[in-house]
Amino acid sequence: MKPSVYVETSVISYLTGRPSRDVIVAGRQALTTEWWDACRNRFDLYVSPLVLTEVEDGDPAAVEQRLAAIPGVPALAVGDEAEALARRMVEDGPMPKEYPEDALLIAVCAVNGIDYLVTWNATHLANAAMRRQVERFLEGAGYACPVICTPEELMEA
């Protein structure tokens, strides 16, 4: 059985976005493409309705490219258990009240036993200080925390 990976919207956006002149963004785009081409087949990939809603928003041509990148990637359901866990992560835990959607995607991963959550969101997700707080919170709630990382960090997995 392959390890499971939840692919967050930022990864799909970097994969399909127009090449950037910003060196950091361009580097992330290159790393994302490298991971997607060389590594993704070692994992069972998942998204959720949250990701689908986000990739379907915006310029129609960009939407088409983002959707074309993820055909056949199963969407995990957002159920009552994940919603309740996300609420607790915001109300009593480490997630900022301004970003309940980030708590919900972590909760969807935890409830479904996903091994990795791959993202370029370094503010609330792939952030070393935040990761440890999220891990402690989820462990205290009886869930295993997915490894929250960037595509670059998941290259050698």
What pLDDT sits at residue 129? 85
- Rounded mean pLDDT, 108-121: 96
Q: Which domains does the chain have, with CATH numbers?
A: 4-154 (3.40.50.1010)
Report field, pTM of the whole predicted structure over 0.95: no
Cβ neighbours for 59, distance < 8 A, ≥ 6 positions apart: none
Among 49, 29, 44, smallest CA distance to 151 is for 29
- Residues of the chain with pLDDT > 90, as a percent, come to 87
Two tokens, residue 105: 């995607």
Tell me what pLDDT residue 126 has: 86
3-state class (DSSP) for residue 11: helix
- Arithmetic mean of pLDDT over the chain: 93
Q: What is the mean pLDDT of residues 33-51?
A: 94
